[in-house]
Structures are given as C-alpha cells and as structure tokens.
Amino acid sequence: EKRKLWRLRFVAAVTRDGTPVDLLANIELPQEVERAKEHGATGIGLFRSEFLFLNRDDLPDEEEQFEAYSTVIKGMNGSPVIIRTFDLGADKNLRSAYRMAPNPALGLRAIRMSLAEPGMFLAQLRAILRASSLGHTQILIPMLSSSREVDQTLQMIEFAKQSLRDENKPFNETIKIGCMVEIPATALSLELFMRKLDFLSIGTNDLIQYTLAIDRTDETVAHLFDPLHPAILRLLARIIQSATKAGIPVSICGEMAGDAKYTRLLLGMGLRQFSMYPTQLLTVKREVLDSSLPDISRLIQKILKADEPEKIHDLLQKLNS
C-alpha cells in the first residue's frame, strides 16, 4: 500500500476529467526542502519563516536570513517558493519578547508585529528580495485585515526595494505579493485585498479559530474546532469563488488542505492549489487522481446549503465514496 503510494511521486496531479491541480509543500526550516521534493511537491506553498526565530534569544540578521531563503530557493530549482513573513506572537513566541500579551491571538501578532518593528521587518524584506534573484520567489503576508495595513506593508516593501537599488543589489523587481486570508474580516472584504495584491492563501487554522471563537491552542475546546461548520464551508466557497472569478490565484495552506477527507470538497468548491506538510502530499494526490469534478458539483451545492452537522457528514461521506 505504502509502496503504491510512493509510485505517485512523479505522477502529475490531474483529476479524472483532466483538471490539473497544484500540490505544494509547507515547510518550517530550510532542511525540509529535500523531503518536500521527495514527496513530489511542485513548489513550496508556505515557508513559515518565523521558525528561524524560535528557541533563540537573538534575531537572525539579514545575512543569516538571506542564507536560509537562498538555500530553499536554490534547492527548489526554479519551482515557486512562497516565503511568508514572520508570524510571530500568539502561539509562536520569541523566547524573551512579547510573552505578556493579555490575549496573544488577538494581539500584536504577525504583520501587526512586523509593522511595529520596522527594523526587523526591513531586514527580512531585504533578505527575501535579495534571495528572489536566485529563483521563483513570492512574498506572503500573514494576518492582514485592513486596507491601511496593506498600504503600510506595500510601502515597506517599496522602501526595501529602493534601498537595494541604491546599493546595486539584484532582486526581482516584479516579485508577487500575496496575503493570508485567515481573519473573517479579510474574507468578507476580499475585493479590497484582491485589488492591491497578487495572490491569496487561505489559512484555515486561524480562519476557523477566529470565525468560531475557538482558541486553536486550547485543548478544552479542541472538540469544537470544526472545519465542517456551515459558516466555515460557506466562507471558504465564497473566498475561492471570488478569487477565481477575479483571476487571482488562491490556495489553502492550513491543515484542511492536507487532509484527504476534504480534498474532493475543496476541489468541488473550485480550489486548484493545495499546500500541506510533505508527508500528506501523496495521499492527497491519490484522492485528486480518483476524483471526477463533473460528478461532484451537485453534491457540493447540497453541502453548502445544509446546516445540520449530521446532514453535512452524510453528504461528505457520499462525496468521498
């Protein structure tokens, strides 16, 4: 069984009716590139760069970051690498700083912290931009929720670019900038983000946390963390459809993307790009190869109309059989 799955490594991910699907890898450290390639990833859909920061007291400087990003980009041989800027705060803390936030998940986290620490942010942006001259690189911003934050972020990126131009350091001038869709406010005002940015990546881990008011790190409410809640399904369908209609690339990089029981559901909603832990890639690919999109669209419509959990589970089972 395992050997059979392993043979799918270099088989293209295409549904039975011929629709190609992009299966990318999530990584946390540069060393994981090899495993991603081994499992047939066609790119890195999410490099959680904050892991360069964890379990240490000092911050990696621009040079150290440049090395780390270069390793990933060179390792992927021209395949796309999406580097997410630091998502620090909340569950991913620096050892020393910012420990005392009264409510870390709603506090100075991710892009909010980066904008509050412009020196740190600038060093990271310069490191990513410099590495972008070595291969196909994109920048992903976590936790964006307002127009003002988008503008400030784009200004910082432009500032970083200008500083490199002044020093004659090469970088990709037309590098694509995207945002995580992981806050309900972002999902519900998506046009704003699509106007100013190049691509979207849905973070279901946080989108579920913030939509259902379930702390993703609190075990006492873990049983309520429900990807199949009708509110989540409708939000996801809406994001994917709006982006597709606008011609903006959209992926899911939260855990949902790596769970084969949701593969058909997400394909049916129109998702064509999934990013997940490398070890999930082949199981999801097998599901893609087994799926036929024309056969599932009616069931998807039914699932999106349903609101009783039993009904949704029954329909999902039907979809997957």
* Residues of this chain that bind ligand PEP (CB under 6 A): 48, 87, 182, 203-206, 253-254
Start-to-end CA distance of the chain, whole Å, equals: 19
253 a catalytic residue: yes
- Nearest approach in angstroms of CB 98 to ligand PEP is 16
- Nearest approach in angstroms of CB 289 to ligand PEP is 25
Q: Which residues contact 114 (CB under 8 A, 6 or more apart)?
A: 85, 86, 88, 120, 121, 124, 153
Question: Does position 89 bind Mg ion by CB under 5 A?
Answer: no
Q: How buried is residue 63: exposed, middle or buried, by Cβ count under 10 Å (0-12/13-18/19+)? A: exposed
205 among annotated binding-site residues: yes
272 among annotated binding-site residues: no
Residue among 32, 206, 215, 255 that touches Mg ion (CB under 5 A): 206
Pairwise CA distance, residues 95 & 85, whole Å = 18
Query: Which part of the chain contacts Mg ion (CB under 5 A), choosing from 148-156, 203-211, 222-230, 292-300?
Result: 203-211
Question: Does position 203 bind Mg ion by CB under 5 A?
Answer: yes
Give alpha helix (H) positions in the chain.
2-6, 33-38, 62-75, 111-116, 118-131, 147-166, 184-188, 190-196, 204-212, 230-246, 263-269, 281-290, 293-305, 309-320
Q: Name which of residues 123 to 152 contact Mg ion (CB under 5 A).
A: none
- Nearest approach in angstroms of CB 227 to ligand PEP is 11
112 among annotated binding-site residues: no
218 among annotated binding-site residues: no
Question: Would you tell me which residues interact with Mg ion (CB under 5 A)?
Answer: 182, 203, 206
Question: Which residue numbers are catalytic?
Answer: 253
